[in-house]
A and B are shown apart, each in its own frame.
Chain A
Amino acid sequence: DSGVTQTPKHLITATGQRVTLRCSPRSGDLSVYWYQQSLDQGLQFLIQYYNGEERAKGNILERFSAQQFPDLHSELNLSSLELGDSALYFCASSVGIGGTQPQHFGDGTRLSIL
Protein backbone atom coordinates (compact mmCIF):
# COMPACT_ATOMS: atom_id res chain seq x y z
CA ASP A 1 0.00 0.00 0.00
CA SER A 2 1.60 3.24 -1.20
CA GLY A 3 -0.56 5.45 0.99
CA VAL A 4 -1.91 7.35 -2.02
CA THR A 5 -5.67 6.90 -2.41
CA GLN A 6 -7.51 7.33 -5.68
CA THR A 7 -11.24 7.17 -6.20
CA PRO A 8 -13.09 5.80 -8.00
CA LYS A 9 -11.19 2.72 -9.19
CA HIS A 10 -13.31 2.42 -12.30
CA LEU A 11 -15.41 4.91 -14.19
CA ILE A 12 -17.55 4.21 -17.23
CA THR A 13 -19.23 7.06 -19.01
CA ALA A 14 -20.20 8.34 -22.43
CA THR A 15 -18.72 10.77 -24.88
CA GLY A 16 -19.41 14.40 -24.11
CA GLN A 17 -19.71 13.83 -20.38
CA ARG A 18 -17.66 15.27 -17.51
CA VAL A 19 -16.00 13.31 -14.70
CA THR A 20 -13.95 14.09 -11.62
CA LEU A 21 -11.13 11.90 -10.36
CA ARG A 22 -10.00 12.28 -6.78
CA CYS A 23 -6.63 11.75 -5.13
CA SER A 24 -5.53 11.85 -1.50
CA PRO A 25 -1.73 12.00 -1.16
CA ARG A 26 0.34 10.19 1.44
CA SER A 27 0.33 11.82 4.83
CA GLY A 28 2.93 14.60 4.84
CA ASP A 29 3.31 14.79 1.06
CA LEU A 30 2.83 18.27 -0.38
CA SER A 31 3.33 17.53 -4.08
CA VAL A 32 0.71 15.84 -6.21
CA TYR A 33 1.21 14.69 -9.79
CA TRP A 34 -1.25 13.39 -12.35
CA TYR A 35 -0.25 10.95 -15.11
CA GLN A 36 -2.19 9.35 -17.93
CA GLN A 37 -1.43 5.84 -19.14
CA SER A 38 -2.85 4.89 -22.53
CA LEU A 39 -1.97 2.19 -25.03
CA ASP A 40 -0.83 4.59 -27.73
CA GLN A 41 0.82 7.33 -25.63
CA GLY A 42 2.26 5.30 -22.77
CA LEU A 43 2.71 7.02 -19.42
CA GLN A 44 2.57 10.79 -19.70
CA PHE A 45 2.79 13.57 -17.15
CA LEU A 46 -0.25 15.82 -17.03
CA ILE A 47 0.14 18.32 -14.20
CA GLN A 48 1.84 18.95 -10.85
CA TYR A 49 0.65 20.78 -7.75
CA TYR A 50 2.65 21.77 -4.73
CA ASN A 51 1.01 22.88 -1.50
CA GLY A 52 -2.12 24.05 -3.27
CA GLU A 53 -0.52 25.80 -6.20
CA GLU A 54 -0.07 24.64 -9.76
CA ARG A 55 3.59 24.09 -10.40
CA ALA A 56 3.89 22.71 -13.89
CA LYS A 57 1.85 21.44 -16.78
CA GLY A 58 2.67 18.68 -19.16
CA ASN A 59 0.62 17.22 -21.98
CA ILE A 60 -2.70 18.18 -20.49
CA LEU A 61 -5.59 18.99 -22.79
CA GLU A 62 -7.54 22.21 -22.38
CA ARG A 63 -10.62 20.07 -21.66
CA PHE A 64 -8.84 18.81 -18.54
CA SER A 65 -8.28 20.81 -15.38
CA ALA A 66 -7.10 20.07 -11.88
CA GLN A 67 -6.76 21.64 -8.48
CA GLN A 68 -5.27 20.90 -5.09
CA PHE A 69 -7.30 21.83 -2.06
CA PRO A 70 -6.15 23.19 1.34
CA ASP A 71 -6.28 19.68 2.80
CA LEU A 72 -3.88 18.70 -0.03
CA HIS A 73 -6.21 16.31 -1.81
CA SER A 74 -6.43 16.87 -5.54
CA GLU A 75 -9.07 16.48 -8.21
CA LEU A 76 -8.66 16.03 -11.94
CA ASN A 77 -11.64 17.17 -13.99
CA LEU A 78 -12.13 15.81 -17.48
CA SER A 79 -14.84 17.36 -19.64
CA SER A 80 -16.30 16.91 -23.12
CA LEU A 81 -14.97 13.39 -22.99
CA GLU A 82 -13.86 11.67 -26.18
CA LEU A 83 -13.20 8.01 -26.91
CA GLY A 84 -9.48 8.73 -26.89
CA ASP A 85 -9.63 9.83 -23.26
CA SER A 86 -10.09 6.23 -22.21
CA ALA A 87 -7.03 5.49 -20.11
CA LEU A 88 -5.66 4.71 -16.69
CA TYR A 89 -5.15 7.91 -14.70
CA PHE A 90 -2.59 7.84 -11.92
CA CYS A 91 -2.02 10.22 -9.09
CA ALA A 92 1.36 10.28 -7.37
CA SER A 93 2.67 12.22 -4.42
CA SER A 94 6.00 13.18 -2.92
CA VAL A 95 7.17 15.05 0.11
CA GLY A 96 8.41 18.13 -1.68
CA ILE A 97 9.95 19.27 -4.90
CA GLY A 98 13.38 18.88 -6.43
CA GLY A 99 13.27 15.14 -6.76
CA THR A 100 15.07 14.33 -3.53
CA GLN A 101 12.21 12.03 -2.55
CA PRO A 102 10.57 9.58 -4.96
CA GLN A 103 7.02 9.74 -6.18
CA HIS A 104 4.63 7.13 -4.86
CA PHE A 105 1.67 6.16 -6.99
CA GLY A 106 -1.93 5.40 -6.21
CA ASP A 107 -3.69 2.42 -7.76
CA GLY A 108 -5.14 4.51 -10.57
CA THR A 109 -8.60 5.22 -11.93
CA ARG A 110 -9.58 3.27 -15.03
CA LEU A 111 -11.69 5.54 -17.23
CA SER A 112 -13.68 3.95 -20.03
CA ILE A 113 -15.55 6.09 -22.53
CA LEU A 114 -18.34 4.33 -24.42
Chain B
Amino acid sequence: AQTVTQSQPEMSVQEAETVTLSCTYDTSESNYYLFWYKQPPSRQMILVIRQEAYKQQNATENRFSVNFQKAAKSFSLKISDSQLGDTAMYFCAFMKHGFQGAQKLVFGQGTRLTINP
Protein backbone atom coordinates (compact mmCIF):
# COMPACT_ATOMS: atom_id res chain seq x y z
CA ALA B 1 0.00 0.00 0.00
CA GLN B 2 1.09 3.51 -0.69
CA THR B 3 1.61 6.06 2.05
CA VAL B 4 2.15 9.80 1.92
CA THR B 5 3.80 11.73 4.73
CA GLN B 6 3.81 15.47 5.28
CA SER B 7 6.10 16.18 8.19
CA GLN B 8 5.18 19.85 8.69
CA PRO B 9 1.75 20.19 10.32
CA GLU B 10 1.92 23.99 10.23
CA MET B 11 4.00 26.69 8.58
CA SER B 12 3.86 30.45 8.64
CA VAL B 13 5.67 32.99 6.45
CA GLN B 14 5.47 36.68 5.58
CA GLU B 15 3.82 37.85 2.41
CA ALA B 16 6.17 37.87 -0.62
CA GLU B 17 8.49 35.29 0.94
CA THR B 18 9.22 31.90 -0.58
CA VAL B 19 8.07 28.80 1.27
CA THR B 20 8.67 25.10 0.67
CA LEU B 21 6.33 22.36 1.83
CA SER B 22 7.70 18.85 2.22
CA CYS B 23 6.21 15.54 1.19
CA THR B 24 7.58 12.02 1.08
CA TYR B 25 5.85 8.92 -0.13
CA ASP B 26 6.33 5.21 -0.13
CA THR B 27 5.42 2.96 -3.04
CA SER B 28 6.65 -0.01 -5.01
CA GLU B 29 5.03 1.29 -8.18
CA SER B 30 7.28 2.55 -10.96
CA ASN B 31 4.73 4.69 -12.74
CA TYR B 32 2.51 7.07 -10.83
CA TYR B 33 1.35 10.64 -10.40
CA LEU B 34 1.90 13.11 -7.60
CA PHE B 35 -0.26 16.09 -6.79
CA TRP B 36 -0.53 19.07 -4.52
CA TYR B 37 -4.04 20.14 -3.63
CA LYS B 38 -4.94 23.33 -1.78
CA GLN B 39 -7.86 23.59 0.63
CA PRO B 40 -8.59 27.19 1.66
CA PRO B 41 -10.96 28.05 4.52
CA SER B 42 -13.83 27.73 2.03
CA ARG B 43 -13.09 23.94 2.12
CA GLN B 44 -12.78 23.54 -1.65
CA MET B 45 -10.14 21.12 -2.88
CA ILE B 46 -8.19 22.89 -5.59
CA LEU B 47 -5.58 21.20 -7.74
CA VAL B 48 -2.36 23.20 -7.56
CA ILE B 49 0.12 21.14 -9.53
CA ARG B 50 0.62 17.66 -10.96
CA GLN B 51 3.76 15.64 -11.65
CA GLU B 52 4.07 12.50 -13.73
CA ALA B 53 6.68 10.15 -12.28
CA TYR B 54 8.15 9.20 -15.63
CA LYS B 55 8.92 12.83 -16.43
CA GLN B 56 12.22 14.03 -15.05
CA GLN B 57 11.39 17.70 -15.50
CA ASN B 58 9.85 19.32 -12.46
CA ALA B 59 6.34 20.70 -12.97
CA THR B 60 5.74 24.44 -12.71
CA GLU B 61 2.53 26.46 -12.54
CA ASN B 62 3.16 30.19 -12.26
CA ARG B 63 4.42 30.81 -8.69
CA PHE B 64 4.17 27.13 -7.79
CA SER B 65 6.88 24.61 -8.58
CA VAL B 66 7.88 21.20 -7.34
CA ASN B 67 11.14 19.45 -6.57
CA PHE B 68 10.57 15.83 -7.52
CA GLN B 69 13.25 13.43 -6.38
CA LYS B 70 12.11 9.97 -7.51
CA ALA B 71 14.91 7.97 -5.95
CA ALA B 72 14.41 9.67 -2.62
CA LYS B 73 10.60 9.49 -2.99
CA SER B 74 10.35 13.15 -2.21
CA PHE B 75 7.96 15.70 -3.70
CA SER B 76 8.18 19.20 -2.25
CA LEU B 77 6.15 22.26 -3.25
CA LYS B 78 7.73 25.68 -3.52
CA ILE B 79 5.56 28.76 -3.46
CA SER B 80 7.35 31.90 -4.63
CA ASP B 81 6.27 35.46 -3.86
CA SER B 82 3.64 34.15 -1.45
CA GLN B 83 0.32 35.97 -1.28
CA LEU B 84 -2.38 36.25 1.38
CA GLY B 85 -4.62 34.13 -0.82
CA ASP B 86 -2.18 31.25 -0.52
CA THR B 87 -3.27 30.74 3.08
CA ALA B 88 -4.74 27.24 3.11
CA MET B 89 -4.22 23.62 4.01
CA TYR B 90 -2.01 21.92 1.44
CA PHE B 91 -2.29 18.22 0.74
CA CYS B 92 0.23 16.08 -1.06
CA ALA B 93 -1.34 13.14 -2.89
CA PHE B 94 -0.26 10.02 -4.76
CA MET B 95 -2.03 8.04 -7.43
CA LYS B 96 -0.71 5.02 -9.24
CA HIS B 97 -0.91 4.84 -13.00
CA GLY B 98 -2.72 2.03 -14.69
CA PHE B 99 -6.07 0.56 -15.48
CA GLN B 100 -6.22 -2.13 -12.81
CA GLY B 101 -7.77 -1.43 -9.47
CA ALA B 102 -8.78 1.91 -8.08
CA GLN B 103 -7.38 5.15 -9.42
CA LYS B 104 -7.67 6.57 -5.96
CA LEU B 105 -5.80 9.49 -4.50
CA VAL B 106 -3.83 8.72 -1.34
CA PHE B 107 -3.42 11.87 0.69
CA GLY B 108 -0.98 13.04 3.30
CA GLN B 109 -2.19 14.59 6.54
CA GLY B 110 -1.75 18.12 5.22
CA THR B 111 0.28 21.21 6.05
CA ARG B 112 -1.53 24.30 7.26
CA LEU B 113 0.14 27.30 5.66
CA THR B 114 -0.47 30.83 6.88
CA ILE B 115 0.72 33.85 4.94
CA ASN B 116 1.06 36.89 7.20
CA PRO B 117 0.76 40.49 5.95
Residues of A within 8 A of B (CB): 2, 31, 33, 35, 42-45, 48, 55-58, 88, 90, 92, 94, 97-100, 102-105, 107-108, 110
Which of these, B42, B46, B97, B107, contacts A99 with CB under 8 Å? B97
Chain B residue numbers with a CB within 8 Å of A102 are: 33, 35, 47, 50
Q: Is the CB of A98 within 8 A of B99?
A: yes
Which of B47, B98, B108, B110: most chain A Cβ within 10 A? B47
- Distance to closest chain B CB from A33 (angstroms): 7
Chain B residues with a Cβ closer than 8 Å to the other chain, count? 27
A45 to B1, CA, bound (A): 13
Number of A-B residue pairs at CB separation under 8 A: 69
Q: Is the CB of B103 within 8 A of A99?
A: yes
15 contacts between A and B (CB under 8 A): A42-B107, A42-B109, A43-B105, A45-B104, A45-B106, A48-B103, A56-B102, A58-B102, A88-B43, A94-B103, A98-B99, A99-B97, A104-B47, A107-B42, A108-B45
Q: Is B25 an interface residue (CB 8 A)?
A: no
Which of B43, B102, B104: most chain A Cβ within 10 A? B104
A110 to B98, CA, bound (A): 32
A102 to B48, CA, bound (A): 11
Q: Is the CB of A99 within 8 A of B96?
A: yes
Chain B residue numbers with a CB within 8 Å of A43 are: 91, 105, 107
- Distance to closest chain A CB from B108 (angstroms): 8
Q: Is B101 an interface residue (CB 8 A)?
A: yes
Q: Is B44 an interface residue (CB 8 A)?
A: yes
- Distance to closest chain B CB from A73 (angstroms): 19
Which of these, B45, B50, B102, contacts A90 with CB under 8 Å? B45
